[in-house]
Structure 1
Amino acid sequence: MRISAKGRYALASVVFMAQQHESGEYITILSISEKLGISKIYLEQVFSLLKRGNIVNSIKGAMGGYQLTRMPQQITVLDVLKAVELSLFEPAQDTVSENSPEIEAALRLSAFDVLDKAIHDSLCKVSLLDIVNEAEKHKGEEAIMYYI
């Protein structure tokens, strides 16, 4: 499965927001862009989709920015990807339905539907909080150790 840059950037951005969630503050696209090294212009497009998908809400003005609409443990990877990866979750197109409907039915039932269900089931089990917790485990791995 190949997730586009839009999907990867959306996930990274909302995980960053989930890390800051306890503060209750709104987070600007500029601060996310600087922290994660993602183009501000590209993030504006991503956040438009995240807002439409009810993953984030926004407030305008000097103290404005974005905030998650729910607690990090209530937002799944599936929720985020469904908001930004518009074609990723579309059903597979017919392959040979006109000439071999029995092969088409077998492909759909034995392969495509099984794959769609496995992806859906896997992605809805992982919350933003799960990813935040995993990131915390790896935080110390990048720290530089100084010995005197």
Structure 2
Amino acid sequence: MKISAKGRYGIAAMVFLARNYDASSPITIISISDHLGISKIYLEQVFSLLKRSKLVNSIKGSQGGYQLSRHPREITAYDVLSSIEISLIEKTGLASEKMDQLNHVLSRNVFDVLDKSIYETLNAITLEELLTALNHEESSENLMYFI
């Protein structure tokens, strides 16, 4: 499984929105771009996909921007990545008709198990958990140690 830059940026942008979930005003693409160092044009493509999947709400106008459509504990890494990565869990074609039994065994014992594992792992990670981990990481960096 390979996660594209678009998928990685999508997760990062969603964690940024999660951090600002309680803010009364929406967050602009420019603000996200500045804070994360991601191209505004690239983020617009990402947010188009996130909006289509109903993970974010967009508000138009001079005070417009984006907000999470649900609480950060209700949005998973799988939700975000599956809306951006078209082939996150993609079924591939069979190798050959002569290999029907082998294809069936491989599909059932390798690929289906792998797909299920990926789904379960990503579906167990919420934006709220990622935000908590980020906050912990940032607070650990700010500690001073004296010897």
TM range (shorter): over 0.9
Q: Distance in 2 between matches of 1:139 and 1:83?
A: 28
Structure 2's unaligned 5+ residue stretches are: none
Q: Given that residues 27 and 65 in structure 1 are in contact (C-alpha distance below 8 angstroms), is that contact kept between their aligned partners in structure 2? A: yes
Give the structure-2-normalised TM-score: 0.94
Deviates more, 1:83-92 or 1:30-39: 83-92
Q: Distance in 2 between matches of 1:54 and 1:30?
A: 21
Q: Given that residues 92 and 112 in structure 1 are in contact (C-alpha distance below 8 angstroms), is that contact kept between their aligned partners in structure 2? A: no
TM-superposed deviation, 1:33: 0.2
- Mapping for residues 1-148 of structure 1, pairs under 5 Å: 1-96=1-96, 98-143=97-142, 145=144
TM-superposed deviation, 1:145: 4.6
Q: Distance in 1 between matches of 2:36 and 2:112?
A: 36
TM-superposed deviation, 1:25: 2.0
Structure 1's unaligned 5+ residue stretches are: none
Give the structure-1-normalised TM-score: 0.93
Q: Given that residues 18 and 128 in structure 1 are in contact (C-alpha distance below 8 angstroms), is that contact kept between their aligned partners in structure 2? A: yes
Q: CA RMSD in A?
A: 1.5
Name the % identity: 49
Amino acid at match of 1:65: G
TM-superposed deviation, 1:92: 2.9
Count of residue pairs the alignment pairs up: 146
Amino acid at match of 1:9: Y
Q: Secondary structure at the match of 1:61?
A: coil
